[in-house]
């Protein structure tokens, strides 16, 4: 059960990354530091995968 | 982990998928845009608050009654395909009403709002039932996710094209053409009735007595309720941001949520959505003015809506129906989503005067925690056998690859 937070945390991080990119896109600005966004989404994905593999199993 | 090929496999023929996608996405986008047009008409005509309440009560009452009647008709009296054709034709006619009749007084607004509600509610359970009968239980989530994604994108596009640039008459005409497109696609592809495997249609009382259904229905109602009660007190910045960026994130996470619900089960995806919302509301309750907490809330709310839309609106009720006709399950499961708009309209003028944002968000967080409790007791609707089968298949594929590598 605690690993559901890895799953949830992963989704939130990916969501934040997307939010960042989309909001900058709507403001017609470039991502100033694309590495930050990439790291955020990558960490989110890893967290999601770990949460999926070990935590969220029926 | 399953390979990419199996993830994109929808398990139905292309024609069947297109028909399902078009009839559901067309109906929901049509209704959501028509609803906004009706709301605009109600706002612009000078009528009293009581008359506004009466118009909306009649509209949502019409949706609810028509959904129950439509589900009963489809499962007992009328062939589903005939009902769907009739329903879509009725949609074309009701779209054209503002073009033919001048809707500028309370009586005409009442009639138009009732017509709109009945026109949507009557066929909604049948088109959702069509989704349930067209898809296998272990592929239903991803198909539902794609459809919910299409609804979000379709509504966004129709809304941005229709509302700001055209007069009411042209808006009505575009909506009618959009509905004709749905009807034409349905008639051209001529789907077969999919009742063969279905044995019977249970009564509403029998459905509501099922504990499994209640364990899922109660959290869904609580979510819709909390969402409606808290929406009027979001800070204006959050509303603006969540309308544009949130709708895109919702669409993307509907795809993710649908796929995940097929891989790990519906229950886990729904619990994850509630956990996220609980965190979002709790942080917004503590720091309601802080922009980071507002952005966090926008993100978690959009993700949760995407996942709940794919699971609660599209998938779950079809799973719960099992071998029975799914129409009545979808009528019951779809109503909290549709009626939450009614609560939103009724509460909006008063909620800001009654409670502070901080108190409301804290209460929302607490009630979301309570909403998870029935979910913990609910059994998983995706059969465990299917999950094990997929894991075994994935394991065999991996073993084959390793064997090929070693020669």
Strand boundaries in B1-154, DSSP class E: none
Q: Quick check: B387 contacting A, CB < 8 Å? A: yes
pLDDT at position B144 is 92
Closest Cβ–Cβ partner in B245, B300, B380 for A22: B245
- What backbone torsions phi and psi does residue B107 show, to the nearest 5 degrees? -60, -45
Query: How many C-beta atoms surround the C-beta of residue B250 within 10 A?
Result: 26
Q: How far is B378 from chain A (nearest CA, A)?
A: 12
H-assigned helices in B264-383: 266-286, 291-308, 316-321, 327-354, 357-377
DSSP 8-state assignment for residue A2? T
Residue B385, classified by CB atoms within 10 Å of its CB into exposed (0-12), middle (13-18) or buried (19+), is exposed
CB proximity B260 to A under 8 Å: yes
On whether residue B403 sits in a domain, the answer given is no
Residues of chain A contacting residue B299, judged by C-beta atoms under 8 Å apart: 12, 15-16, 19
Q: Which of B262, B264, B386, B388 to mutate to test the interface with A (most CBs of A within 10 A)?
A: B264
Q: Based on the structure, what is the number of domains in chain A?
A: 1
Residue-wise pLDDT tens digits, A12-58: 888 888 888 887 777 766 666 778 888 888 888 888 888 877 544 44
Query: Minimal Cα–Cα distance from B273 to chain A, Å?
Result: 8
In angstroms, the CA B230 to CA B367 distance is: 12
Q: With contact defined as beta carbons under 8 Å apart, do B234 and B287 qualify?
A: no
Q: Which of B244, B245, B264 sits opposite A56 (nearest CB)?
A: B264
Number of H helices, E strands in chain A: 2, 0
How far apart CA B330 and CA B334 sit, in angstroms, is: 6
Is residue B188 assigned to a domain?
A: yes
User: What Rg value do the Cα atoms of chain B yield, rounded?
Assistant: 22
Condensed to tens digits (0 to 9), the pLDDT of residues B132-157 reads: 888 888 889 999 999 999 998 888 88
- Do B241 and A23 make contact, defined as CB atoms within 8 angstroms? yes
Give me the helices (H) in B101-167, please: 106-134, 140-165
Number of domains in chain B: 1
Distance CA B247, CA B297 (A): 13
Contact A44, A11 (CB under 8 A): yes
Radius of gyration of chain A (CA): 13
Q: Which of B156, B276, B375 to mutate to test the interface with A (most CBs of A within 10 A)?
A: B276
Give just the sign of the alpha carbon dihedral B75, B81, B84, B90: negative
Asked if residue B246 lies in contact with residue B296, where contact means CB atoms within 8 angstroms, the answer is no
**Across the A/B interface, how many CB contacts are shorter than 8 Å?**
65
Residue span of the structural domain in which B362 resides:
4-397
Q: How far apart are alpha carbons A14 and A37 in whole angstroms?
A: 9
Q: Is some CB atom of chain A closer than 8 A to the CB atom of B248?
A: yes
Tell me what pLDDT residue B383 has. 78
Largest CA distance in chain B: 81
Q: Could you give the C-alpha distances from B348 to B82, B88, B166, B243, B344, in angstroms and in order?
A: 40, 32, 28, 17, 6
What does the block give as tokens for B277?
């919302």
Handedness of CA B288, B290, B292, B295 (dihedral sign): positive
Alpha-carbon distance of B307 to B309, in angstroms, equals 5
Q: Measuring CA to CA, which residue among B302, B215, B303, B311 is closest to residue B262?
A: B311
Residue A27: give the domain boundaries: 4-55
Nearest to B110 by CA among B149, B70, B54, B166: B54
Sign of the dihedral through C-alpha B181, B60, B72, B206: positive
On whether any CB of chain B is under 8 Å from the CB of A1, the answer is no
B271/A4 touch (CB, cutoff 8 Å), yes or no: yes
Q: Is B231 helix (H, G, I), strand (E, B) or coil?
A: helix
B263 contact A CB<8A: yes
- The CATH number of whichever domain residue B348 belongs to comes to 1.20.1250.20
Using the CB atoms, write b or e for A28-49: b if 16+ within 10 Å. Answer: eeeeeeeeebeebbeebeebbe
A22 to chain B: closest CA residue: B245
State the smallest CA–CA distance between residue B304 and chain A in angstroms: 10
Classify residue B245 by its DSSP letter.
I
Q: What is the pLDDT along chain B (407 residues), one digit of tens a residue?
A: 555 556 567 677 888 889 999 999 999 999 998 998 888 888 888 888 888 889 999 999 999 999 999 998 886 777 888 888 999 999 999 988 888 888 778 888 899 999 999 999 999 999 998 888 888 888 899 999 999 999 988 888 887 776 678 888 888 898 999 999 999 999 888 776 655 455 677 888 988 998 989 999 999 999 888 887 776 566 555 566 566 777 888 888 999 999 888 888 888 899 988 888 888 888 888 887 787 888 888 888 889 989 999 999 999 999 898 888 888 999 999 999 888 888 877 876 677 677 777 777 777 888 888 888 888 888 888 877 777 777 777 778 778 888 888 76
* B241 and A CB contact within 8 Å: yes
Model pTM?
Answer: 0.85
Residue A26 touches partner B, C-beta closer than 8 Å: yes
């Amino acid at each position: 059960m605690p690993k559901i937070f890895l799953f949830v945390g992963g989704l939130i991080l990916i969501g934040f990354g997307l939010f960042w990119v989309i909001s900058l896109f709507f403001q017609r600005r470039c991502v100033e530091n694309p590495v930050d966004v990439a790291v955020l989404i990558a960490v989110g994905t890893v967290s999601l995968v770990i949460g999926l593999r070990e935590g969220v199993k029926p | 982990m399953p390979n990419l090929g199996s993830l994109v496999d929808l398990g139905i023929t292309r024609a069947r998928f297109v028909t399902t996608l078009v009839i559901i996405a067309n109906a929901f986008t049509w209704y959501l845009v028509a609803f906004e047009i009706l709301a605009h008409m109600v706002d612009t005509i000078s009528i009293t608050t009581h008359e506004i309440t009466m118009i909306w009560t009649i509209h949502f009452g019409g949706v609810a009654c028509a959904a129950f009647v439509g589900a009963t008709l489809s499962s007992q009296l009328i062939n589903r395909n005939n009902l769907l054709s009739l329903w879509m034709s009725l949609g074309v006619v009701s779209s054209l009403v503002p073009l033919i009749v001048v809707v500028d007084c309370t009586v005409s607004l009442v009639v138009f709002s009732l017509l709109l509600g009945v026109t949507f509610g009557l066929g909604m359970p049948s088109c959702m039932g069509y989704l349930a009968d067209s898809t296998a239980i272990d592929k239903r989530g991803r198909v539902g996710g794609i459809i919910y994604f299409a609804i979000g994108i379709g509504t966004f596009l129709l809304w941005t094209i229709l509302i700001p640039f055209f007069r009411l008459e042209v808006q009505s005409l575009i909506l009618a053409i959009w509905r004709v497109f749905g009807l034409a696609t349905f008639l051209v592809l001529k789907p077969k009735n999919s009742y063969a495997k279905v044995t019977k249609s249970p009564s509403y009382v029998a459905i509501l007595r099922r504990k499994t259904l209640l364990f899922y229905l109660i959290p869904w109602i609580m979510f819709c309720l909390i969402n409606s009660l808290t929406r009027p007190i979001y800070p204006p910045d959050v509303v603006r941001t969540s309308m544009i960026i949130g709708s895109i994130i919702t669409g993307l996470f509907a795809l993710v949520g649908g796929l995940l619900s097929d891989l790990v089960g519906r229950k886990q995806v729904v619990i994850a959505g509630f956990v996220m919302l609980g965190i979002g509301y709790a942080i917004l309750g503590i720091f309601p003015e802080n922009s980071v907490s507002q952005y966090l809330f926008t993100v978690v709310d959009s993700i949760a809506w995407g996942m709940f839309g794919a699971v609660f609106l599209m998938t779950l009720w079809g799973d719960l129906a099992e071998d029975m006709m799914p129409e009545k399950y979808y009528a019951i499961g779809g109503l909290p989503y549709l009626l939450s708009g009614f609560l939103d309209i009724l509460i909006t003028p008063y909620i800001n005067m009654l409670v502070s944002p901080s108190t409301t968000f804290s209460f929302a967080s607490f009630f979301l925690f309570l909403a998870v409790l029935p979910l913990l007791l609910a059994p998983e609707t995706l059969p465990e056998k299917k999950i094990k089968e997929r894991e075994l298949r994935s394991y065999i594929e991996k073993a084959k690859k390793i064997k090929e590598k070693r020669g």
